[in-house]
A and B are shown apart, each in its own frame.
Chain A
Amino acid sequence: MNISISKIVLVFFLIVSIVGCKKQIVNEYVVDDVHVSSETGNKANLKSDLQLITIMYADVFGTSISSEKLKGLNQAYVSFGDKDIVIDRITHYFLSDAAAQIPSDNYMRFNPDQFITEAYKKFFVRNPSEAELWYLKKVINESSSLAARDIYYAILTSEEYKYY
């Protein structure tokens, strides 16, 4: 009995060693170098305080800011350390102004692709990615209380808007 088991084991290792000697076929897949561009447009430069305020004003109102208005906004901006808080207040100020150029909520709901694309071009100076388009359309569809102004608010207070 012990002998027959030993023979079986011996034959097994013999087969394995023969199979193991078989030449391996290696499939190599070569990918050419490709240039990957950032969806966020490779923005690497921080807008200066004045740039941020003047660009935001021009983006929201479609006109350049007056020097008197800029003085007040700059005064608020330089007088408080947490700039996110000041930007937030300035954004409230801009978007609550009746002269702010904001599409209607109906336009946003019935033309979400155009609304999102136009907003991205206006504020981020680029097209939205497919993922961004999908996500924002989903948010617009699911949030009935969300206004076009609210999307603008989120964009204007985002990190990307601080850069160019």
Chain B
Amino acid sequence: MPVLASQASVDFMAAQNASIVWPAIFAGRAFQSAFNSTFNVLSNTTKLFTSVGNTIPDLYKAGNGILELKNGAYIYNSAQIDAQLAAAELEGVPYYLGVSQTSTVAATTSVAVGETEGEVFVFDAATGTISSYEGGEVSAELLEFLAALLLEE
């Protein structure tokens, strides 16, 4: 069956996108797996619904907190993070954002995370350590949230 020119073009685009997107997805999954095994927690499967979008954050405990892990080069208020921030504000729980050693986090995102009483932190997958993105130690509240996830299992 002949392939239409437009169809061939679409397939080419898909292949090109896959070569860019899939390595990023695999790296993201490896980052998340390293975090989950370091802190002995399981990924969340609960979907959260907000007026700015619906989202399944990486870690979640109702009434306790929301945590998302990102290992991209530049982390900003994307639609996904906006929805998670809205979910945190709606529920009145802190939003924690875990990033890699090499990530740059937008100031707009840092403030928005802080306003939920959460924090941005750096997870070093090689050493299994976490510290505040801004250079201090992480808050006792974040450690308590991780402990609460651990107890849930």
Partners in one complex: no
